[in-house]
Amino acid sequence: MRRKKPWIPYVMTAFVAGAIVLLVLGNRDRLRPVVPGNRAPSFTAYDLEGSARSLKDYRGKVLLVNIWATWCSPCREEMPSMQRLYEAIDDEGFEILAVSIDAPFGETDTSGRRGGDLERYAEAVGITFPLLHDPSGEIQEVYQTTGVPESFVIDRKGVIYKKVAGATAWDAPQNIDLIRRLLGD
């Protein structure tokens, strides 16, 4: 007759608990809500030349991260106010990162929407701030967005100061004043 090993359930429990702890630690940024007061999660997107850009490339700057798409009407309406904000601030310590979630140009996304030509769009609208591209749409998951446009004002320390779901007038006096306050002007 074989003797039962009474310690096996304890070892298995410890193993499962350890795996859960490692899983949580490895994904803690994804589990933290993306709201004002929390650190902005890192992301990677591509500039119009195809170079990878991440949040850490802009460390020490005040940022307006805007998640948008060319097929989104409110996004297209909002974009000129972002350009006016960019021109009004004119400070090396401030950057707008408009991250498009469009499918690659000439392709369609899972919803059947065709990817827009970001360079042509920037020229047509007169955009001079950086347009980035994340055709995977991973930034939406990382920033826990509910749609587009959705924007995040991030201070110099990388902390989200303001979150806006939907289009807004970024050149409104209160938004210009906010960016200037965060810059320390």
What is the per-residue pLDDT for 88? 97
Cα angle for residues 127, 65, 91 (degrees, 5° grid)? 65
> Scanning the structure block, which residue is given the tokens 């003797």?
3
105, β-bridge pairs: 115
pLDDT tens column, 114-158: 899 999 999 999 999 999 999 999 999 999 999 999 999 999 999
For the chain, which residues make up each domain, given as ranges?
Answer: 33-183
Global pTM value? 0.83
What is the per-residue pLDDT for 19? 74
Residue 31 has pLDDT above 70, yes or no: no
Comparing 36-45, 65-74, 105-114, which segment has the lowest mean pLDDT?
Answer: 105-114
What is the per-residue pLDDT for 45? 97
Judged by phi (left if over 0) then psi (alpha if -120 to 50, else beta), residue 181 lies in alpha
CATH number of 33-183: 3.40.30.10
Residue 1 has pLDDT above 60, yes or no: no
Q: CB-hemisphere CA count at 13 Å for 39? A: 12
